[in-house]
Amino acid sequence: MKNFEQLSLLSTDEMCTGCARLAYLHMEPSGENIAIAVLGEHANGEPFARVVTPKVLRCLPQDLGVAVHSFATLIVADYLDWAARRGGTEGWESPLGGIETGKKFIVDAESREAVVYAALERCSLFHRPSIPKNAVKEEADRPPRPAFESRFAQSVKRDVLLQKPSLEPGFNRTFSLTNSSTGFAIDYIGHSYATCYAAIDPRSKGAVRLRTSSAALWRLARARDSFNFGFFTPDRFELTAWVPSPDLPIYSEQDYDLVSDMVNELKLQASKEELGVFPTHDARSASKRLLGHEALSVVT
């Protein structure tokens, strides 16, 4: 960081200086990289991080649009949380595989906020928002997710509430990380059990196939560590992952091999965070598992 410090000393009183790098989503098998977030520090060492696209871009294919937004949001929150807990950003690495970070570069601008925007403007997907005068701030969108995964989560919720309506307050709980204004959703968190839902579709794009489920594991681990749910902590935190039933004609043998490999990889990732993974073929078995765990506790 010596060069950065020397450059910042050369800045005029009217200018602010920052050091930034871009985080890229690596696309397979094309090898393309898409800049999805800016990570940096101001001259005084204070970290900053921003997503390139604050909302899902509808001009991109649905899964890719969701990935660009949701993965970037996760990266930004993890980077700021690391800095808050460690007293700096040194040693930070992406919690998601397939996210690459570029070389650091120096940015000079007329204000600290302008430093961030100057870094963002290096990204092709960035569009500076225009805010009308007296505009009312929009309510934050719910965290986006792939359509099939969303349908699976909603099906489980409907099935659970048909049998036990009193569990409704446990669905769609949110938490925030230190120094992050971004909220993350946990699909269900109750007295004994917490889970996020994922769908492992071997036909989905390589950029989102495994990382969406990995992001759900990250949310579970950070929720468990955040103590934002009162004085209790559920006994079990696990990812509930839909996987295709055996012998479906739309999937090949290679597709099923890929699903098996992905489940094994998720279990390995989960074990490092002391989390579980529950693969299931349908919403009914997922709801039965949730109800079974919650039956062991007294729900108020």
Q: Between the CA of residue 162 and those of 39, 166, 252, 289, 290, what are the distances in Å?
A: 45, 10, 35, 15, 13
Other Cβ atoms within 10 Å of 264 Cβ, number: 11
pLDDT per residue as tens digits for the range 71-95: 898 899 899 989 988 888 888 999 8
Domain annotation for the chain: domains and CATH numbers = 2-120 (no CATH), 147-294 (3.40.50)
Tokens of 175: 């938490």
Least confident residue range of 59-73, 136-150, 200-214, 274-288: 136-150
List the Cα angle 100/90/31 in 5-degree steps.
Answer: 5
**Nearest-angstrom CA–CA distance, 60 and 63:** 8
Please say if the pLDDT value at position 5 is more than 80. no
- pTM for the model stands at 0.68
pLDDT of 105 reads: 92
Place of tokens 């520090």: 41
pLDDT per residue as tens digits for the range 91-108: 899 988 889 999 999 988
3-class DSSP assignment, residue 40:
strand
